[in-house]
Structure 1
Amino acid sequence: MSPIKPIANCLSAITIFLSLSACNHTPSEQSESLKEKRSQTSERIGSPQLLSASTPISEEKKLAQEQADVVLIGSELEGLYLAKAAADEGLRVCILDPRPAFGGQVLQGEMLFLDATRDAHRKSLVQGRVKELFDGFKNGQIRKIHDFQHYMEKLVKGIPVTQAVRIGQVGKVTGVDGNEHISSLTYTTSDGVQHHITASSWVENTDYAAFVNQLHVTRAPGLEKLYGQSKIEYMGSSYMMKFKHVNWKKWLSVFNSMKLEERKKKFGTAFLTESYALSFDAVTKAYKPTSDRLFLRGFNAINQLNGDVLINGLLIFDVNPADDASVNQAIALGQKEIPFILELFRKNLPGWENAELNGFPPYLYIREYNHYETAYTLQASDLLSGRMFDDNVSIGGYPIDLQGITANKWGVEMGRPDKYGIPLRSFVLKGYDNVLMAGKNVGASAIAYGSVRIQPNTSTAAESIGVLLGELRGTKYTVANVPAMEMERVQHLLAMKYHINVIGVRGENRVQGWSKDELQKLDTGEINITTYKHKK
C-alpha cells in the first residue's frame, strides 16, 4: 500500500487528464511563432536511427496514443518550474506522477520551512520565479499548507497532470551524437488503461528516480563511501511535526527577557524571532528517542500564525524512498514518537504549556536518494572555489550540510561556499541526449549535494532549463550539445526577461592555493575544510 494519502482538496484546482488526449493539447500561438522564427535560421534535427522498440508496433496501436514536447515524471516542486517555463514558451508539457497524490515533499511531506540561499555576505541568491514563493514565506503570506497548495496549483495551471501512473516500457533510439535518446514511454493509469506517449524531452522529478531507474544508469558513490559503510544509506528523512495552541508571543517574550548566559544554559544554541526558531539544542539533546532509528536534532520551527507551529527536527534513519514498506514503517515510527516530543516541549519551552498535536503529514521529507552520473558531477571543490561554468543555469549557495545517518546522527558540515555556478550539464543524464534531472536528482557528489540540494538552487536551474527547451525547439540542438553561443544567448534572455542572472557572477575562492592532492581529498571527504589547517 502506498504511504501517500491525498490531502483534502489538494487537487481541487488542478486539472487531471486521464483521457486519450491527456498530453495532446495544441501548442500556443507563441510556440508556433517561435517554431517559424527558428526554422528560418536553424536546421531541424535529423531523424534518429531506431535502436530498440520497447513495445511491438502491433501492440502500440492498441494503446492510447499521446504526444508531448516535455514529459515530467513526478510532481516535486523544483521540477514544476521547468514545466511552467516550458509551457510558457509554448511547448506541450504534461506531468505523469507515480505517486497517488500531488506535491511531493511540499504538499505531502508538508516540508514548509523554506531554506533561503545567500552568499558569504548574506546577500540573497534566490532569483527567478521561486523568489515569489520565498518572499511570500518571509512576509507571512505563504505559511500554511493551503497557501503552498494554492501556489503550486498556479504553477501547473493548464498543464495536464496524471496521478498514480505505473511506468512501463521505455522506447530508445540512437541520437545524432551517439547518445541514447528516449523516444517513448508506455504507462498505465489508475483505471487500468495503457498509454503510449512520445516526447522530445523527459524530466526525472521524483524523490526516488522512478523514471531513471528504468534506464541504463550508473549510481555514483553515496555517503556510505564517506563513512566507510558497505550498506547504502541516505541522509536521514524528516517527519514534520505539527502543533497548535502554541503561544509564540510568550515564547519570544520570555526568551528575549533572559540574560544571554541564562538563555544559553537553558536552551543551548538558540535563535528566536517573530517568524522562526532555530536549534534549541540543549532541549533536543536531552531527549532520548524510543528507537535507534530516530533522532531529535536542533530544530527549525516556523510560526504559521494563530498558534500553529511546524517543526523540522525529527530525523528517521535508514529510509528507502523507493520502497513503500520502508516509508510506511518510518511514518509509523514518527507518529508514535511525536506525542513524547510534545511533552518535552511543554515542559521546556515557555508558551508551549497548552500545545497540542495538529495532525500528521501523509508523507516524509525525503532529503536524498541515489546519485546518478550526469554529464558533469559537481564536487565540493567546485563549490568552495566559487567556480562558474559557461553553461550556468543557476547560481548556488548554502553550507555543505550533510544531515545525519546511523553512522553519524548529528551529521556534519563540510564547508561554507560563497556562491558557485550550477551548470546545465549537471542536470543532463550521462549517456542520454534528452533526459533531464530535476531537483534532488541533480548531478552532485554525495558531499557537494549537501549544498546543491537546497530548493532555490535547483528551482532556478529548472526554470532556466524550461526556457532553454523552448528556445531550442526547432533547432538541431539538444540539451546535451548546446553550443556556447546559443547558451550565452539564452543566458542573456534569462537575465532580461526572467530576472535570472547566471553570467558575469564571481564567487570567492575559499581554497585558493590548495594543491591538487588537497582538492582531491576535499572532494572525497578526507579533508573537511572547517577543521583543516591549510599551509600556504
Structure 2
Amino acid sequence: MKRVVWLLSLVVLLVAGCEGEKKPGGKDRGSDPDIVLIGSEIEGMYLARAAADEGLNVMVLDPRKQPGGQLIQGEMLYLDEPFDDAGQSLLQGRVKELFDRYKQGEIRKKEEFVDYFQSIAEGIPIESGIQIVKIDSEPDAHSKQTIKSLTYRTAGGEERTVSAKYWVENTDFGALSSRLETTRIPGIETVFGGEATDYMAASIMMKFRQVDWEKFAGEINSLSQDKKEEIYGSNTYLTGTFAYGFGNIGKSYSSSQKDVFLRGLNIINQRDGEALINALLVFNVDPSDDRRIQEALEAGKTETDRVVKHLRQQLPGWEKAEVNGYPDYLYIRDSTRYETEYVLQATDLLGGAMFWDNVSIAGYPIDLQGNQANPWGTSTGKPDKYGMPLRAFQLKGYSNVLTAGKNVGASAVAYGSARIQPNTSLAGEVIGIILGQIDGKSELAELSEKDMEKLHQYIKKNYDITLSGVQAKNKIGRYSEEQLELINRGKLAVE
C-alpha cells in the first residue's frame, strides 16, 4: 500500500507541473517548450532541472509507463562513486548532494529515492506512456538536420504535435535517436564476440529483508585479509554502509537458467534489516524489446527466489534473509547507441584527455560487464580522471539533438567507464546550464572555445563546478601506436 502512495504522489506532482505558470525569471509554461526530453532517466532529468532553473521551458515525453527509469522503476539504488588516483572524489553539482545524503544514510530506500526524484522533477511536466508517431526535420545553415517538430500518441490514444529548440535522447533504448538518420556505435560484441549486435548484461536488483548487517560485516571483517579472500574472493570489502566483491559466492552458485548468471555481489545496507544487491545478470536483453524485458524480469524474479537460499548458507547474518519484493523494471547497462560529434575512446580516458568543451570531469575503471559469451566480463584499466566534451552529447548530423546518460558517445570499451551515473549526471546538469545561458544569444552548434571559456567561468562562479584547468595522469604515454589500437579495442589492459 505504501508503494502505491509513493507512486501516486509522484504522478500528482508531475501532473501539477503541466499547469500553466510563470516561473520567476522563466517563461510561460503554456507556450511551446524550449527543450523536450524523450525519457525520464535521472541523468537527463538533471539537464531538465538545470535548464528550468536557468529560465527555460522544459517538458518530458516518456515512452515508459512510469517515470524514473533505472533509478526508480529498476531500483538500481547501489550508487558507484568515481575517484581519481589520489583518492579524491570526482563528484560535483547536484549529483554530489544525492551521494552525500546516500552515504549519510538519509537516502537508501526506494521511497527516499522517489522523494529525491520528485525534487529534481518539480514543476517539469512529464507525460508517460507516449509513442512517437512522426518527426519532422529539415536541413539547417550548418549542413546538418534540425528537428522542427515531433508528433506523438498519448497513453490515451490522442495525437499531439510539439515543437522545440532542442531535443534530448534520455531513454535506455534510443526511442528518439533510433528514428533519425544516425549510425550505430559498435557494441560489446566487438570485445567479447557473440551475436552481431549484443549488449552488456542487464540486471535485476535483488531486494532482501531480515539481514543482520552488524553480524555480516563484523564476522567477515574479523577475518584476516588472506582468509577473507580465500573464503569470499579477491577485493571483498565491507563497511557499515555497503559491501562489494564476494566473487566466490557467485562462482559457487549454479543458475537454473542458461541466460541468468550470478556474479560478485555489490550490496547496499538500506537500514532496518533491508539490503539490496546488484549481482544477478540477465543476458541477451534488447531494451527496445518490451517482450524480452518482461521475460527477463520474470527470469530474474524466479532466480532471486533461489539465490536467497544460497545467501543464507554462504553469508553470516543472512541466515534468516527473505526476498523483499521485486523491482518493476531492469537495470539496463547497455543499449544501441548512436554516433555523436565526438566519440570517446579508451585512450582518451586512460590518457587523461581534457577538452575545450568539457561538460564533465569523469572517472571510474573501464568496467566491461559480461555477455553470454564472456559472463564475468573484464576491466581494461582505471583512468585517473578525464574530461567529457559537449560534442560527446551532440548527436552527429543534427544541430539541435542532444543525448543524455547512457546515450553518451563512447566506444564499446570507453563506455565501460563513461556510462557511470555520476559522470553523465554532471554532464546533463552542465548542458542544461549552458542551454539556459545561450538562450536567445547563440546556438549550441556555434559555440567556440572562447564561448566555452566564458561558460566555464560562469558555471564555476555560480554552481561551484570546475570544468577547466584540471590536470590528469596520462597512463599510456609510452605505449606504441599498435598498443594504443589494442587498448581501444579492449584487447590490451593498462595497469
Deviations 1:254-299 (A, max 9, x none): 1133333433332223211111111112222100101121111111
Contact 2:26 2:52 in 1 (8 A): no
* Alpha-carbon distance between aligned partners in 2 of 1:453 and 1:217, rounded to the nearest angstrom: 20
Report the alpha carbon displacement of residue 441 of structure 1 after superposing the two structures with TM: 0.1
Q: Is the 8 A contact 2:360 2:424 kept in 1?
A: yes
Gaps of 5+ in 2: none
Assess if the C-alpha contact under 8 Å between 1:244 and 1:307 holds in 2: yes
- State the identity %: 46
Deviation string for 1:151-196 (max 9, x for gaps)? 0101010111111111110011222211100010101111221111
Q: Aligned to 1:346, what secondary structure does the other structure show?
A: helix
Q: What residue number does 2:74 align with?
A: 109
Shift of 1:481: 2.3
C-alpha deviations, 1:11-55, integer Å up to 9, x for none? 514557779x959x56645247xxxxxxxxxxxxxxxxxxxxxxx
Residues 451-503 of structure 1, C-alpha deviations (whole Å, 9 max, x = no match): 0000110000000000000111112x322221111111111111111121010
Question: Is the counterpart of residue 84 in structure 1 residue 49 in structure 2?
Answer: yes
Show the 5 A alignment for 1:17-416: 22=18, 25=20, 28-31=23-26, 67-269=32-234, 270-416=236-382
Secondary structure at the counterpart of residue 508 of structure 1: coil
Deviation track 1:102-127 (CA, whole Å, cap 9, x = no partner) reads 10001000000000011011100000
What are the residue-to-residue correspondences of 1:512-527 with 2, within 5 Å?
512-527=477-492
Equivalent residue of 1:496, what SS? helix
Question: CA–CA distance in 1 between the matches of 2:8 and 2:184?
Answer: 34
Tell me, in whole angstroms, the C-alpha distance in 2 between the residues paired with 1:387 and 1:94: 34
Compute the displacement of 1:327 (Å): 0.4
Q: Given that residues 14 and 124 in structure 2 are in contact (C-alpha distance below 8 angstroms), is that contact kept between their aligned partners in structure 1?
A: no
Q: Which amino acid aligns with 2:320?
A: N
CA shift, 1:233, in A, is 1.0
Using the size of structure 1 for normalisation, the TM-score is 0.89
Task: Answer yes or no: is the 8 Å Cα contact 2:13–2:122 preserved in 1.
Answer: no
Q: Deviations over 1:341-371 (max 9, x none)?
A: 1011111111111111100001000000012
- Give me the whole-angstrom Cα distance separating, in 2, the residues matched to 1:194 and 1:22: 17
- Runs of 4+ in structure 1 over 6 Å off: 16-19
SS for the counterpart of 1:311 is strand
**Structure 1 pair 164/497, CA: closer, same or farther in 2 (3 Å)?**
same
- Give the 3-state SS of the residue equivalent to 2:311 in structure 1: helix
State the AA in 1 paired with 2:206. M
CA shift digits 1:311-368 (9 cap, x unpaired): 0000000001000111011011111111111011111111111111100001000000
Q: Quick one: distance in 2 between partners of 1:515 and 1:347? A: 49
Query: Offset of 1:227 from its aligned partner?
Result: 2.6
TM-score (norm 2): 0.96
Comparing 277-286 with 444-453, which one deviates more in the overlay? Answer: 277-286
**RMSD, aligned CA:** 1.9
Number of matched pairs: 491
Q: Tell me if the contact between 1:284 and 1:297 (Cα under 8 Å) persists in the aligned partners.
A: yes
Say whether 1:482 aligns with 2:447: yes
Say if 1:158 and 1:266 are closer, same or farther in 2 by CA, change over 3 A: same
Conserved 8 A contact 2:108-2:270: yes
TM-fit CA distance, 1:209: 0.7
Structure 1 counterpart of 2:408: 442
Whichever of the two has the greater Rg, that structure is 1
Measure, in 2, the Cα distance between the counterparts of 1:107 and 1:335.
17
Say which is worse superposed, 480-489 or 417-426, in terms of deviation: 480-489
Distance in 2 between the 1:439 and 1:408 partners? 25
Structure 2 distance, partners of 1:258, 1:18, is: 53
- For the 8 Å contact 2:244–2:265, the answer to whether it is kept is yes
Q: Match of 1:67, SS? A: coil
SS at match of 1:298: strand
